[in-house]
Amino acid sequence: MSPRRTDGQERNRAPSQRSLRGLDGLNFLLADVRDGLGPFLAVFLKAEQHWPPGAIGIAMAASSIAAAFWQIPAGLLVDSLRFKRLLVAVSGLLVAAGCLLVAFHPQFAAVVAAQVTLGAASAVIPPALAALSLGLVGHRRLDARISRNESFNHGGNFVAAGMAGSLGYTLGYDWIFYLVCFFAVASAAVVNLINPAEIDHELARGGEERDANGQFKAPLSVRDLFARKDLVIFLISVVLFHFGNAAMLPMAGQVLAQTHPGSDTIALSACIIAAQLIMVGVAWAVGKAMAAGIGRKPIFLVALATLPVRGILFSFTTNPYGVVAIQLLDGVAAGIFGVIAVVIASDLMRGTGRFNLAQGLVALCVGVGAALSNFVSGFIIEWYGYGAGFLSLTAVALAAFGFFALFMPETRGRTEPNAAPIAALAVGAR
């Protein structure tokens, strides 16, 4: 058996406080940047530009499709390059450019082009942040670090949503776009706080094993990666999770724009703020739960269980206060997913040298699920109404819960990924 980094080596990793604060700052600032315009774009296009739901669905899906297309190249880039800080900075600035394009040219072609730019640029950010985290703190401290990352991420979303709602209400929708630009430029500056000499780039891609000569083994081939049953099960679960979840808040925003014109931006901001407050606490609680020995699978099942409840409740109300209250459930689901998805990927990829590619694959599945969610729900709404749109996503969410519960094994404590063939899916996971 090839030697690994010892626990002592992991324990002795001590990045400077300056680098750790830089990582905190990046997660705070990029919270707004990595998601682009999000549901505010749907409200802007509905309330100010008077787009039909089908066209809004296409525009919302364009970013997700572009992000999906670029996820695997992004993961490979982060795995292979040592310029991870530069990748983060450039990606953020491209997101800023896309937002300015929407602000100045809100025509269909320009908006779709901007959304494609935002999706492609944002594909790099999650795996790069995860790689910087792993490269700085190592596997032993990764659970706590990802929990902290997500707390700062949701704190950033909370601040950004409050500012976006206030600016949109008092100064106009265009200022929401300028806000994203500000956060992007600030993140490009803050990334310089991280000392590149403190990043273990081999560790950052999940590489641990050495050959007989003491050299790190080559990363696992992409073909062998997809032969790992548990990874495939997890990726399918991620697609289903976001298929059942992504379009719910944009749909709720469209309902508010239609039934309560003039208060839609404030109500949508309240939805995001309320959810982000919950996410901060949930991200912290997930870290504590994992430290206490609770497995990854039951934690993720809690997130999956909240989605159908949220979809059913949304289908029965157009009251702004009710929408905000229901959105608290998204704080639970998204707060759990943000932490647990990175940790499960780390479990599955330990020793393969493909951690960031796996992060790219997870983000690809997020994009595929989100694109399907926005695209399908947009036309269901157009044909059958908003109630049917919410109930269709509820059905997908129930399927996601059942699939993950039946097939996905626990990954906590794993030191070697399961290389069982995908054909074993026919009889289920042990």
DSSP string for 2-29: -----HHHHHT----HHHHHHHHHHHHH
- The domain segmentation of the chain, as residue ranges, is 13-200+222-423
Sole residue written with tokens 């994203």: 180
Q: Which class is domain 13-200+222-423?
A: mainly alpha
3-state DSSP assignment of residue 172: coil
pLDDT tens string, the chain, 430 residues long: the values are 344 454 444 445 578 888 889 899 888 988 767 666 666 777 778 777 777 877 887 887 788 788 778 878 888 888 777 788 888 888 888 888 888 888 888 788 888 888 888 888 878 888 888 888 888 888 778 888 888 888 888 788 778 777 877 777 777 777 778 888 888 888 888 888 988 888 887 777 766 544 445 455 666 677 777 778 889 999 999 999 999 988 887 787 777 767 766 555 667 667 777 777 888 888 889 888 888 888 899 999 999 999 999 888 888 877 777 777 887 888 899 889 988 998 898 888 877 777 778 877 887 888 788 888 888 888 888 888 888 888 889 999 999 999 999 999 888 766 444 444 433 333 333 3
Radius of gyration of the chain (CA): 21
pLDDT for residue 414: 60
Q: What is the pLDDT of residue 166?
A: 78
Please write the tens of the pLDDT for every residue from 343-359. Answer: 898 888 877 777 778 87
Q: How far apart are CA 103 and CA 228, in angstroms?
A: 44
Cβ distance 390 to 275 under 8 Å? no
Q: How far apart (Å, rounded) are the C-alpha atoms in residues 225 and 214?
A: 23
So what's the pLDDT on residue 207? 61
- Kindly state the helix (H) or strand (E) to which residue 392 belongs, with its residue range: helix 386-407
Which pair of tokens denotes residue 32? 């707004």
- What is the value of pTM for the model shown? 0.69
Which residues, including other chains, have CB under 8 Å from residue 402's CB and lie 6 or more apart?
Answer: none
Which amino acid makes up residue 73?
Answer: P
CA pair distance 12, 10, nearest whole angstrom: 5
DSSP state of 410: P
CA angle 273, 334, 369 (to 5 degrees): 120
For 167-217, write each residue's pLDDT tens digit: 777 777 777 788 888 888 888 888 889 888 888 877 777 665 444 454 556
Phi, psi (deg, nearest 5) at residue 210: -115, 155
Residue 216 dihedral angles phi and psi, to the nearest 5°:
-65, 140
Bridge partners, residue 210, by sequence: 216
Question: Rounded distance, CA 342 to CA 238, Å?
Answer: 12
Q: How far is the C-alpha of 71 from the C-alpha of 127, rounded, in Å?
A: 9
Residue 347's pLDDT is 86
Residue 263: the pLDDT is 59
Q: Whole-angstrom Cα distance, residue 285 to residue 279?
A: 9
pLDDT at 227: 78
Residues 282 and 197: their CA atoms lie apart, in Å, by 33
* Residue 235: predicted pLDDT: 94
CA–centroid distance for 342 within its chain: 10
